[in-house]
Amino acid sequence: MAVGIIGAGRAGTSLAAALQYADYEVFLHSRERKALPVSAEYSFGNRIPWLERADVLVLAVPDALIPNLASRLAATGSLSDRHIVLHLSGALDETVLSDLLPSGAALGSLHPFQTLTDAAWGPERIRGALAAVQGDERAVLVATQIAESLGMYVVQIEADQKPRYHAAAVFAANYPIVIARIAERLLHDAGVEWPEARRAVVKIMQGTVGNLAERGSVAGLTGPVSRGDAATVAKHIDALPEDLVEAYRALAKVAVDVAELEGEVKRRLLEVMKEVNG
């Protein structure tokens, strides 16, 4: 099976590397010429020379560009009912490819539930990750075959659930980095130099991921909320910069539910958060 990827950003090149590792024939195209970390057959510019040679097209471009790219592909007249066209968006469904319906190509999406930042790590990062597939029957079948051949495990997501699914990816992949930066800032404000702050945060977050893997999200939760320590939570909020108080309170309220606290312990925690914040 020959797979052509349009878009040579981090996700596109990481996927290309994983596909090559799995012995697929891979084509890669970008709008402008760039140095690539993979050895796939490469093209650039307005014309995509390998369209008729590819069995599967993967649109690895930002979400906002997918409909326009689908329209441009439709205008080439090069696609037919033998093609499968997949996009990599976690939030969008196959309807963004609707301009390709007259071609007869199967339309769908394949989204790796993983952070893809470097092609060198692509095969390893993708192996073992969740893959969400969606679209018409033939597209889902082929997307599933590709994902499983890369060592992923597959779930089929309904179109109206994709935004919720993608929000999960954002919470898991993006917001820990935001929280890490907040922790680094607070350590620095407390007198720890930036390099040491970063190392400390990475180390503690590695331990947290270990807790999650070994014990799960409920049993793996540590800290004052999990202990029902309302006095410490109050001290934290009182000590925080004003721009971080609301974020701390919001996360602490969710942590109360994660810790499955009930009764007086839960009431004290929620009350102290309410009192401190006015």
pLDDT tens, residue by residue, 198-243? 999 999 999 999 999 999 999 999 999 999 999 999 999 999 999 9
For 249-260, write each residue's pLDDT tens digit: 999 999 999 999
pLDDT score of 36: 87
Which residues of the chain does CATH 3.40.50.720 include? 2-158
pTM greater than 0.85 (yes/no): yes
For the domain spanning 173-276, the CATH number is: 1.10.1040
Tell me whether residue 8 is exposed, middle or buried, using C-beta atoms within 10 angstroms of its C-beta: 0 to 12, 13 to 18, 19 or more: buried
Mind listing the pLDDT tens digit for each residue in 1-21?
Answer: 999 999 999 999 999 999 999
pLDDT at 275: 57
Rounded Cα–Cα distance for residues 135 and 156 (Å)? 9
Q: What is the pLDDT of residue 2?
A: 98
Every domain of the chain with CATH number 1.10.1040 lies at 173-276
Domain 2-158 -> CATH class: alpha beta
Q: What is the distance between the alpha carbons of residues 232 and 250, in angstroms, rounded to a whole number?
A: 16
Ranges of the chain with pLDDT below 70: 275-278
pLDDT confidence of residue 172? 97
Q: Please check whether residue 147 is in contact with residue 19, taking contact to mean a CB–CB distance below 8 angstroms.
A: no
d(CA 241, CA 239): 7
Output the pLDDT for position 276. Answer: 46
